[in-house]
Amino acid sequence: MKKRIYLDTAAGMNNPSSIHREGMQARKRLEEARSAVARFLGVHPDEIIFTSGGTESNNLAIMGTGHRVLKMPQHPVSGVITSVIEHPSILNACIKLEGEGEKISYLPVNFDGLIDSKILAEKLKPETRLVTLHYANSEIGVVQPVAEIAKVIRKHRKKYSTQLPYFHLDVCQAVRFFDLNVAKLGVDLLTINGGKIYGPEGSGVLYVKRGIKLKPMFAGGGQENGRRSGTENLWAIEGLAKALTLCEKLRDKETVRLTKLRDYFIAQLLKIPNTVLNGSASARAPHNINVSFLGADSEYVVLALDAKGVACSSGSACSARSESASYVLKSLGASDARAQSAIRFTLARATTKSDLDYVLKILPEIIARGRQQF
């Protein structure tokens, strides 16, 4: 017959798990995307798990690696080390485990938002099973010393003749700008979010090094080699793989361009009286600018800029002053006033110097009015 009669809609259209022609074609496309992601990271395709995004990947890395480790007699007590400025998908997963009796250690950061690898070395114990951190912070853009951290972990493993702790790195804010070859990074698990790299929302990746036993979070059909059940979102996965390819192609050029724009914008913003930069000026992602316009109502500033055609975000989640101060900025030692007046600007591929000049033209008057609202 020339016409294909599709009588498998109960399985979903073009389900990669189906064995008919459409299913096999979908499987081929899925594995091509998996191979593309693996090449980007310098890993094996079977080490790639497709997820719904960064939150799921982080949760799977943190909670999925613990169950079997806890049963190992040489590690009767488990433990996780993270930092106080992690994304909520890491912090809340750790808090959940803490509520279930697992020991969690939280690394402090200095005023620039950086982790001290010496403190990590002190907190590492023979029973520590996982270190979970971000590469670049989503709020203040600070880039952690991953090479130093990996070195400390390797030294600890050698001392105790163990493969633990595993090192998990959330690179959602770093993909566009840094080499993420896994061997160079020295990580065992790695999280990518497609929505942060111009890929589809609801797409994500968790890299899991061969040999790591991962307990799935979902019970279901056993997709992704039994590690993440649920029919794969083929179109989103292909979009994520394409986005990674473009990131790799544009990385060097965009990193140089956005770093120049970032530094120019920061220098001009700091000319506004009583304005301070939040986070390290040097160890910083190229696209991130986080400043506090001291004495200004950040919510007012965001809404006033929005009315003028400029989208940015506030360091505050809500208008209740006692609750809105950013925990990230507070962890850096910032005062409530500084944390509550923080504004985050993040640059994109489409951002130009003329865009920033427009913001700089309208911003001083907005800040002045915002200070009257505070």
- Per 3-state DSSP, what percentage of the chain is helix, strand, and coil (rounded to 5)? 45, 15, 40
Q: What are phi and psi of 356, to 5 degrees?
A: -70, -35
268: CB partners within 8 A, 6+ apart: 356, 360
Contact status, residue 215 vs residue 59, Cβ threshold 8 Å: no
Contact status, residue 344 vs residue 314, Cβ threshold 8 Å: yes
Distance CA 53, CA 21 (A): 29
Cβ neighbours of 171 (radius 10 Å)? 24
- Token pair of 316 as six digits: 């505050």
Distance CA 293, CA 291 (A): 6
Beta-bridge partners for 130: 80, 166
Catalytic choice (94, 172, 247, 318): 318
DSSP per residue, 25-49: HHHHHHHHHHHHHHHHHTS-GGGEE
Distance CA 149, CA 147 (A): 5
Residue of 272, 304, 307, 269 lying closest to 288 (CA atoms): 269
Query: In the annotation, is 247 catalytic?
Result: no
- Token pair of 35 as six digits: 């191979």
The beta strand positions in the chain, using DSSP E, are 48-51, 79-83, 103-107, 130-134, 166-170, 189-193, 204-208, 275-277, 288-293, 313-314, 342-346
Residue of 223, 226, 215 lying closest to 61 (CA atoms): 215
- Which burial class, exposed, middle or buried, applies to 111 when counting CB atoms under 10 A from its CB (0-12, 13-18, 19+)? exposed
Catalytic residues: 318
